């Protein structure tokens, strides 16, 4: 099978959630003997090492410069007018479209993987079957954000953009052979709200050999003992919202019992609100970008994931489970892990009081915490390896190439 993979970015190094999924799926498919060619945007600072890594998995690489950022005036024009969502306009490139057509004229692909909805306009029309690796629905994500947004102007803006994405996703989903989602919640939204009848699920995985607690040690110099850790891109709005909720609503209850417990917010691009928390409270540590997130997850006496919004699979939860950390999570944080059981693999907590009580309980009982962490690692090794997820993705592509029809 020959695959042309069209992606929003170069997948190595796999620092963000999209790159982690893309890199591991490509690696898994290549290891199965699949021939891949990668057409993608090239971010600044792309290293020779990253290029060589991907050459090990792809027969050819076709990186294209990302379009220039729009001016403020153009961005406001995009926001106010037109039916295309802003991020769709932002990613559109005639150069990519021309390159796409040229590749398919000269290189006999069996199937195209359009990796993210933002690349759809460059992949359509497509002379071979096309699979949209959507991961999740942007309309669903934006509606959830609007539901928890308190600023009425921003809430209106989110709903406006969600409506545009609904219309765009409905059109795109109807023009591809399959739409791949990572969670049943996103798939169900696509089926019920967007009328998609070709949605299938191939979840995210985790590299359990890399995320192994025995391979790293906690970093020195962290404030507080014991430590509660939350990781992820700290400029991403759902993560910022969760971190502030954790600090302001949950931890005051924990500090009544453990006044010296520290909070580590580990991840790149921390929002100004989070930097202010660290400046005002010595118990809070903001790491900013780190080359290796594992030592910070390893440092957690308890890992917290109090997501209030967002969609899809939370890679951070899979990573913490693989690192054998005891985890307290909101129901939304693990909705894409249907096999996970509260009290067996992690602790589910709904609301600030439940969340605080669960954190305190695990901090008070080291034996229970260690046992929970071991079961969490066993769980992801059994259910969420990238090999298993890659096999599932390969089955979807093979079914499309062979002309398989979904039953509903």
Please answer whether residues 393 and 31 qualify as being in contact, where contact means their C-beta atoms are separated by less than 8 angstroms: no
> Using 50, 70 and 90 to split pLDDT, how confident is the model at 307?
very high
Q: What is the number of structural domains in the chain?
A: 2
261 vs 336, more confident: 261
Q: 159 and 234: one domain? A: no
Is the per-residue pLDDT at 78 higher than 70?
A: no
Q: 181 and 236: one domain? A: no
Q: How far is residue 152's CA from residue 146's CA, in Å, rounded to a whole number? A: 9
DSSP track, 170-197: HHHHTTSSEEEESSHHHHHHHHHHS--S
Q: 155 and 16: one domain? A: yes
Q: 239 and 360: one domain? A: yes
CB-based burial, 98-130: b 16+ in 10 Å, e otherwise: ebbeebbeeeebbbbbbbbbbbbbbbbebebbb
Domain span at residue 156?
A: 2-205+386-401
Q: 201 and 268: one domain? A: no
Q: 164 and 246: one domain? A: no
Q: What is the pLDDT of residue 119?
A: 96
The closest of 135, 127, 100, 124 to 111, measured between CA atoms, is 127
The mean pLDDT of 23-47, rounded to a whole number, is 93
23-27, 72-76, 234-238, 284-288: lowest mean pLDDT where? 72-76
Would 288 be classed as within a structural domain? yes
Q: What is the pLDDT of residue 33?
A: 93
Would 220 be classed as within a structural domain? no
Would 34 be classed as within a structural domain? yes
79 vs 320, more confident: 320
Would 219 be classed as within a structural domain? no
| Residue 265 CB partners (closer than 8 Å, separation 6+) | 230, 231, 234, 243, 274, 278, 284, 285, 286, 287
Q: 246 and 258: one domain? A: yes
Would 222 be classed as within a structural domain? no
Q: 134 and 234: one domain? A: no
Q: What is the pLDDT of residue 214?
A: 95
Q: How far is residue 340's CA from residue 377's CA, in Å, rounded to a whole number? A: 11
Would 217 be classed as within a structural domain? no
Q: How far is residue 378's CA from residue 380's CA, in Å, rounded to a whole number? A: 6
| 327-357 pLDDT, tens digit each | 999 999 998 888 999 999 999 999 999 999 9
> Using 50, 70 and 90 to split pLDDT, how confident is the model at 224?
low
Q: What is the pLDDT of residue 403?
A: 86
Would 218 be classed as within a structural domain? no
Q: What is the mean pLDDT of the chain?
A: 92
Task: Tell me the whole-structure pTM to 2 decimals.
Answer: 0.89
Hey, how many other C-beta atoms are within 10 angstroms of the C-beta on 153? 8
Q: 195 and 274: one domain? A: no
> Using 50, 70 and 90 to split pLDDT, how confident is the model at 407?
very low
> Using 50, 70 and 90 to split pLDDT, how confident is the model at 220?
confident
> Using 50, 70 and 90 to split pLDDT, how confident is the model at 45?
confident
Would 36 be classed as within a structural domain? yes
Q: 69 and 200: one domain? A: yes
| 49-76 pLDDT, tens digit each | 999 999 999 999 999 988 877 777 776 7
Q: 275 and 321: one domain? A: yes
> Using 50, 70 and 90 to split pLDDT, how confident is the model at 408?
very low
Q: 119 and 259: one domain? A: no
CATH number for position 35: 3.40.50.2000
């Amino acid at each position: 099978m020959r695959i042309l993979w069209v992606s929003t970015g170069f997948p190595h190094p796999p620092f963000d959630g999209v790159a982690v999924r893309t890199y591991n799926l490509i690696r898994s498919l290549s290891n199965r003997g699949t021939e891949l060619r990668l057409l993608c945007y090239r971010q600044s600072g792309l290293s020779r090492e990253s290029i060589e890594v991907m050459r090990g998995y792809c027969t050819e690489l076709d990186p294209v410069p990302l379009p220039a950022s729009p001016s403020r005036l153009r961005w406001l024009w995009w926001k106010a007018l037109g039916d295309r969502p802003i991020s769709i306009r932002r990613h559109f490139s005639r150069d990519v479209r021309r390159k796409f057509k040229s590749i398919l004229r000269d290189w006999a692909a069996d199937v195209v993987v359009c990796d993210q909805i933002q690349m759809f306009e460059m992949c359509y029309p497509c002379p071979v079957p096309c699979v949209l690796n959507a991961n999740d629905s942007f309309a669903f994500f934006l509606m959830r954000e609007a539901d928890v947004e308190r600023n009425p102007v921003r809430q209106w803006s989110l709903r406006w953009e969600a409506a545009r994405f609904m219309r765009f996703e409905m059109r795109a989903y109807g023009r591809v052979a399959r739409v791949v989602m990572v969670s049943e919640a996103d798939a169900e939204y696509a089926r019920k709200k967007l009328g998609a009848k070709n949605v299938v699920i191939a979840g995210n995985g985790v590299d359990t050999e890399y995320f192994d607690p025995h391979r790293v040690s906690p970093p020195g110099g962290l404030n507080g003992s014991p430590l509660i850790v939350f990781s992820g891109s700290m400029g991403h709005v759902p993560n910022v919202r969760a971190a502030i909720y954790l600090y302001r609503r949950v931890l005051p209850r924990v500090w009544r019992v453990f006044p010296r417990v520290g909070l580590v917010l580990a991840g790149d691009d921390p929002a100004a609100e989070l930097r202010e928390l660290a400046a005002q409270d010595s118990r809070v540590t903001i790491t900013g970008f780190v080359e290796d997130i594992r030592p910070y997850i390893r440092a957690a006496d308890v890992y917290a994931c109090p997501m209030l919004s967002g969609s899809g699979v939370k890679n951070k939860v899979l990573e913490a489970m693989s690192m054998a950390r005891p985890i307290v999570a909101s129901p939304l944080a693990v909705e894409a892990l249907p096999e996970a059981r509260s009290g067996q693999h992690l602790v589910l907590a709904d609301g600030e009081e439940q969340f605080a009580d669960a954190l305190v309980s695990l901090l008070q009982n080291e034996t229970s915490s260690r046992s929970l962490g071991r079961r969490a690692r066993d769980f992801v090794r059994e259910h969420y390896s990238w090999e298993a997820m890659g096999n599932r993705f390969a089955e979807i592509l093979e079914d499309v190439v062979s002309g398989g029809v979904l039953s509903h």
